Amino acid sequence: MTKQLTYIDLFAGCGGLSLGLHQAGWKGLFAIEKSPDAFKTLEYNLINQKNHFEWPKWLPQNHHDINDVLSKYSQNLGKLKGKVTMIAGGPPCQGFSMAGKRNEYDLRNDLINSYIDFVKAVEPKIIFFENVKGFTMKFKKNKEKGIAYSSIVTQKLDDAGYFVKGQLVNFGEYGVPQKRTRFILVGIKKDLKKASQEKVETFFSQLEANKFDFLKTKGLSPETNLQDAISDLFKKNGLKPTPDSPNFESGIYGKEKNNYQKLMREGIDNKIPNSHRFPKHSALILKRFEDILAVTHNRRNLDLSKEVRERFNIKKHTVIPLNGLDKSPTITTLPDDYIHYEEPRILTVREYARIQSFPDWYIFQGKYTTGGKRRTQEVPRYTQIGNAIPPLFSEQAGSILKQLV
């Protein structure tokens, strides 16, 4: 009988990492996520639909702040010491994000220390950590001037008793239709019989070597592009009232055009994709989008040039007309940053989910979007997806992580 591999998902978001680990044969114990919206999505899909977690009685099945769990349930966590195979997840570190203003003093960066405290409390056999690309860049103002924060964290985990290895990984090389580079760190407890620095360091080469066979089993290619991902979701396919949004319209499915779409639509028998609600663009915006697509057909997946901005009087921070024949750029939490490659509109939530490799049966909870001051308190559907780890990548990582224990 194969020993059950268990893990705890910290900063779990809407469940992208957990979904991939579920598909790779791991069993979740519980997940820590602060946002009520994101937790509702994870709960609906992975707890209620897939029965993926063996949730402990001592922890309310709800959204939690990691620091509250560390302080309120320290005794319960202590009883798990040495009994959990893996702690996974990555703290939200907006202070290191390349998409926004990088700020090493952003308070959210302190959540890394909470992650490390959690590791020390539970002492899992292995750790899997994901963070933004900027996490590896050097800061000039911190105490360890010129040292990348990733190096500081690597040292802290080494001090906590783990052999660790961190590396930048582009998820787009693993079949995800998006160029998305993230910092991945894996570790193994030094006092385990099989533990060695070499074993940890081979994780990345094994991940790379395995991707072709993995994708082949699913009929996929590493080169899957944006058109491959969403060309069955055109607005021109037809419209129906949006089931969960009165006064909005959703698209209906077109024909499956490739194996990626077939995989995403597995088990779906309804005509209307979940969360495929179209925004209500004004006639003025529609015309502007049409004109922008017309003048940028040779310059896609890049922010608008100064010339185009001046021509259309656009002052917005980022506007990227997409290229259907290439992978999408890294999608952020703001859908207004992108224009669909063929239709004059922004992307729908479901198209966002496809780009992140969430299957269509994965149902998103909460508001579609929000604005103003509410942005800091609410995590609507677009934001949940933009923050997630693509399940197609985390499934591959989960398969290789099994070999560490």
Residue 383 counted as domain residue: no
Q: Output phi, psi for 43, to 5 deg.
A: -65, -45
Asked if residue 24 and residue 173 are part of one domain, the reply reads yes
User: CA–CA separation, 163 vs 191, rounded Å?
Assistant: 10
Amino acid 98: pLDDT: 44
Residue 50 counted as domain residue: yes
User: CA–CA separation, 363 vs 381, rounded Å?
Assistant: 10
Residue 324 counted as domain residue: yes
Count Cα atoms within 13 angstroms, Cβ side, for 120: 12
CB–CB of 376/346 below 8 Å? no
User: CA–CA separation, 30 vs 230, rounded Å?
Assistant: 32
Residue 12, Cβ density class (10 Å: 0-12 exposed, 13-18 middle, ≥19 buried): buried
Asked if residue 238 and residue 200 are part of one domain, the reply reads no
Amino acid 138: pLDDT: 67
Asked if residue 135 and residue 238 are part of one domain, the reply reads no
User: CA–CA separation, 285 vs 188, rounded Å?
Assistant: 52
Asked if residue 42 and residue 190 are part of one domain, the reply reads yes
The greatest distance separating any two alpha carbons of the chain, rounded to the nearest whole angstrom, comes to: 67
Q: Which domain holds residue 70?
A: 6-218+390-404
Residue 344 sits in a domain of what CATH number?
Answer: 3.90.120
Asked if residue 266 and residue 156 are part of one domain, the reply reads no
The number of domains in the chain is 2
The tens-digit pLDDT sequence of the chain (405 residues) is 357 899 999 999 999 999 999 999 999 999 999 999 999 999 999 999 999 999 999 999 999 999 999 999 999 999 999 999 999 998 876 545 444 444 444 444 578 889 999 999 999 999 999 998 888 876 555 545 556 778 888 999 999 999 999 999 999 999 999 999 999 999 999 999 888 999 999 999 999 999 999 999 999 999 999 999 999 999 999 999 999 998 999 999 999 999 999 999 999 999 999 999 999 999 999 999 999 999 999 999 999 999 999 999 998 889 999 999 999 999 988 899 999 999 999 999 999 999 999 999 999 999 998 766 665 556 799 999 999 999 999 999 999 999 998
Annotated catalytic residue 93: yes
First to last CA, the chain: 15
User: CA–CA separation, 319 vs 346, rounded Å?
Assistant: 10
Asked if residue 73 and residue 14 are part of one domain, the reply reads yes
CA separation, residue 395 to residues 77, 186, 298 (Å): 26, 15, 35
CB–CB of 175/222 below 8 Å? yes
> Under 8 Å CB-to-CB from 214, ≥6 apart: which residues?
395, 396, 399
Asked if residue 267 and residue 161 are part of one domain, the reply reads no
Asked if residue 239 and residue 214 are part of one domain, the reply reads no
Amino acid 94: pLDDT: 54
Residue 384 counted as domain residue: no
> Under 8 Å CB-to-CB from 235, ≥6 apart: which residues?
251, 278, 343, 345
Asked if residue 136 and residue 284 are part of one domain, the reply reads no
> Under 8 Å CB-to-CB from 217, ≥6 apart: which residues?
none
Asked if residue 289 and residue 214 are part of one domain, the reply reads no
Question: Which residue of the set 87, 93, 111, 112 is catalytic?
Answer: 93
Residue 1 counted as domain residue: no
What is the DSSP annotation of 305-353? PHHHHHHHT---S--EE--TTSPBPPP-S-GGGEE-SSSSSPPPHHHHH
Residue 382 counted as domain residue: no
List the helix and strand counts (H, then E) for the chain. Answer: 14, 10
Asked if residue 130 and residue 33 are part of one domain, the reply reads yes
Residue 362 counted as domain residue: yes
- Tell me the β-bridge partners of 127: 87, 187
- 285 SS3 class: helix
Residue 89 counted as domain residue: yes
Residue 182 sits in a domain of what CATH number?
Answer: 3.40.50.150
Asked if residue 263 and residue 191 are part of one domain, the reply reads no
